[in-house]
Amino acid sequence: SAAEIELYKMKRRKANDPVAIQEAGKRCYHDGDYERAFEYFSKAVDIEAEAGDAEAEAHYCLSFMYRDGKGIGRDTQKRVYHLEEAAIGGHTKARHDLGVHEVYQGRIERAARHFIISANLGHDASLKALRELRAAGEVSCEDFVTAFRAHQAAVNATKSRQRAEALAIGAMQIVDKSRSNRANGK
C-alpha cells in the first residue's frame, strides 16, 4: 500500500540512505519546496562524501537548482562545480550539460570532449551535438565515427529480451488502466 511504501522511504531516510534522501529532495523540488529540496540534495552529497563515494544524481540535482535559482540564488560557478562532480561520478546528462556550458564559453574543443564521453555512454543528445560540431568542422570525422560506434555499442548493451518484455508489460498496464478509467468515466 501507499502508506507502507511511505513508511519504508521514511525508514531509509532515517538510516541515512543517500538515494532515499535524494528522492525526497526530488519530491520536494517538484512540490515547490525548494529549500527542503536543497537540504535533502546537500545531505545526500555529504553522506556520500563521508563514505568516499560520489552521489552523481544529487550533485546533478544541485546543479540545476543553482542554474534555475529556485530556493537558492543562481550561481554559475557552483552549478559547474556540481556538474563536474556528477560527471566524474558517471552522470551522462551532467557530462552533456558541461559540454553545453563549454560551447557557451567558446571552448569548443573541451565541449567536444565532454560530448564524446557522454555519447560513448549512450547519451543521444551528446551524439547529436557531436554531429552538429562535425557539420561545423569542429570535430574530425574519425572522432565522430569512433563516438558513434561507441554510442551504438552502449545502446545495444542496454537492450535485452527481458527489458523489452518489461517495457511491454508496463505499456499493457498503462493501456489497461486507461481503459478502466474510461469505462468508469474518469
State mean pLDDT over 172-185. Answer: 63
Asked whether the predicted pLDDT for residue 171 surpasses 70, the reply is no
99-136 CB burial, b ≥16 within 10 A, e <16:
bbbbbeeeeeeebbbbbbbbbbbbbebbbebbbebbee
pTM attached to this predicted model: 0.78
Nearest to 69 by CA among 37, 45, 95: 37
Flag the least confident range among 9-23, 47-61, 114-128: 47-61
Higher pLDDT, 2 or 31: 31
Over residues 90-102, the pLDDT tens digits come to 899 999 999 999 9
Which range among 29-38, 113-122, 152-161 shows the weakest confidence by mean pLDDT?
A: 152-161
Residue with cell 557522454: 118
